[in-house]
Amino acid sequence: MFSELLAKRAAENNPIRVGIIGAGKFGAGLINQIMSMQGIVVSVVADINLNSAKRAYVTNYISPEAIQVTRTVQETNQMIQNGKPAITEDGLLVARTDLLDVVVEATGIPEVGARLAYETITHHKHLIMVNVEADVTVGPFLRRLADNAGVVYSLVDGDQSRVTMNMVEWARTLGLEIVAAGRGTVFYDNDRAGTPDTVAERFGFDEEMLERREINLKMFNSFRDGSKAQIEMCALANMTGLLPDVRGMHEPSVNIADIPQIFSQVEEGGLLQQHGVVELANSVRPDSRTLLENPLRMGVFVVIRTDHPFIQEDLHSYHLHSGGSGQNYLLYRPYHLVAVEAPISIVKAVLYGKAAGSPLATPVTEVITIAKRDLKRGELLDGSGGYTVNGLIERVEIARPSGFLPLGLAYDVKLKQDVSQGIAITYEMVALNQDSFVLKLRRLQDALV
């Protein structure tokens, strides 16, 4: 019914008014998609680089002369009332603007995301959280805050964690057991040590492409060094209650047809010690630089299970790949469309007051901080995708008692001791910035849960 309701809002000249914070590759892509829709408009775009915000409008045939830089809530409200596009350097201005229905936070920086999310929710606007780095750090607190404020806190459709969540919810609704759920990766053996410099060289990015597609090399490298997949599966785990079977997951090299067998229990010839896990399906041959014959690549999957012989017969007759003594069956989608699908989350929040997906009130997993190389006392950690650390998913019941530092707090904090490559960094090993907003929210969350 989304299209009918949006058409009605368009006819009534009452579009959903969206503010977007972050005009990088995702934010710009989301603007492109919304501009192709009816009944929804991008009213204001915030980015610390005003040229990026302006370019996102101009790419969609908006005259540069029609775009105004705003510096106050009053100026932004006036532009919205006049139906004119606004841009600003100040994300807080977007969070506090009265006439917006929903804000999309797409900066990818936990400190920034936590502050902007808090301001958006406390100013009684729905929040679509693209910033999964912030979500896995303080998402349960933000979800509780939104519930109390009567607004929606939602992760974004199109992201792999949310696309997988759709299939998990479908299967659970039908009474099917979830054996494993996750996403594909294209992960080579030396990627985990990669840096923004090496990722630029490897993929041959030139200045023209970096500027045209608004590619942030540090963010891009978080996909290549494995942190992003760990973060996304942590988000999925905290939405569903599914757990990693081992720290960092198994992430085997596996073709699509073999997924339901590989992700079955050990006694059935698989890898798992239990059912109900989050996992990764690597598309690269072991000890190789080449892809498998028929890998999942950047798609998503859910391995379902049924003991009912008639349902097994039905699933088999519909040609689902099977494994695990013939009781496990594979659901998969070979793609996720990132910003293209993201407006679904916006529309669902505004029209129905529902989240496309949000964390449970109590998290079950954490992304812990791992030294990417040998680190020296006094070095500053630089978070996901950087030069010093990356992340691995771990169960909360292990991470909390061990004092492991969440990856979302490993930004601009100084090491108090040397740390060897591959070691999990703890709170005691770093000097935290006590003025950090995300740290303050995290402490509130820890006190609550």
pLDDT tens digit string along 234-245? 999 999 999 999
Report d(CA 59, CA 62) in Å as an integer: 7
Q: Report the half-sphere exposure of 163 (CA within 13 A, side-chain side).
A: 23
**Phi, psi (5° rounding) for residue 291?**
-80, 155
**Would you report the helix, strand and coil content of the chain in percent, each value rounded to 5?**
40, 20, 35
β-strands 126-129, 102-105 pairing: parallel
Statement: residue 434 has pLDDT above 90: yes
Report d(CA 436, CA 422) in Å as an integer: 26
Which pTM does this prediction carry?
A: 0.95
Looking at residue 148, its pLDDT comes to 97
β-strands 365-371, 300-305 pairing: unpaired
* Interacting residues of 13 by C-beta distance below 8 A, sequence separation 6+: none
The β-bridge partners of 60 are: none
DSSP at 423: P
**Burial status of residue 448 (CB atoms within 10 A of its CB: 0-12, 13-18, 19 or more):** exposed
**How distant, in Å, are the alpha carbons of 349, 414, 421 from that of 431?**
39, 5, 19
pLDDT tens digit string along 7-57? 999 999 999 999 999 999 999 999 999 999 999 999 999 999 999 999 999
pLDDT tens digit string along 347-356? 999 999 999 9
pLDDT tens digit string along 171-210? 999 999 999 999 999 988 778 888 988 877 666 676 776 6
Q: For the chain, what is the mean pLDDT?
A: 95
3: left (phi over 0), alpha (psi -120 to 50) or beta: alpha
For the ranges 210-219, 226-235, 254-263, 376-385, which has the lowest average pLDDT?
210-219
Report d(CA 164, CA 161) in Å as an integer: 5
Looking at residue 202, its pLDDT comes to 66
Instruction: Please provide the size of the chain in residues.
Output: 449
The dihedral of CA 424, 427, 429, 434: what is its sign? positive
Q: What is the distance, to the nearest Å, from the Cα of residue 178 to the centroid of all Cα atoms in its chain?
A: 21
Statement: residue 214 has pLDDT above 70: no
- Could you give the domains of the chain? 2-158+339-352 (3.40.50.720), 161-187+226-336 (no CATH), 365-448 (3.90.1210.10)
User: What percent of the chain stands above pLDDT 90?
Assistant: 90
Q: What is the distance, to the nearest Å, from the Cα of residue 155 to the centroid of all Cα atoms in its chain?
A: 7
Statement: residue 124 has pLDDT above 70: yes
Report d(CA 166, CA 37) in Å as an integer: 23
Rounded to the nearest 10°, the torsion over CA 256, 258, 260, 265 is -140
**Burial status of residue 209 (CB atoms within 10 A of its CB: 0-12, 13-18, 19 or more):** exposed
342: its two tokens: 């993201």
Looking at residue 372, its pLDDT comes to 96
The helix/strand/coil state of 242 is coil
Looking at residue 223, its pLDDT comes to 86
Tell me the DSSP string of 143-199.
HHHHHHHT--EEE-TTSHHHHHHHHHHHHHHTTPEEEEEEEEE---TTGGG--HHHH
Q: What is the distance, to the nearest Å, from the Cα of residue 301 to the centroid of all Cα atoms in its chain?
A: 16
Segment 378-396 mean pLDDT: 97
Residue 213 pLDDT grade (very low, low, confident, very high; cuts 50, 70, 90): low
Looking at residue 147, its pLDDT comes to 98
Nearest to 19 by CA among 37, 45, 50: 45
Nearest to 40 by CA among 126, 115, 122, 135: 126
Structure-token match 């691995």, residue found: 392
The dihedral of CA 426, 387, 115, 223: what is its sign? negative
* Interacting residues of 129 by C-beta distance below 8 A, sequence separation 6+: 105, 113, 117, 135, 139, 142, 153, 154, 155, 156
Strand boundaries in 5-52, DSSP class E: 16-21, 40-46
For the ranges 94-103, 180-189, 226-235, which has the lowest average pLDDT?
180-189
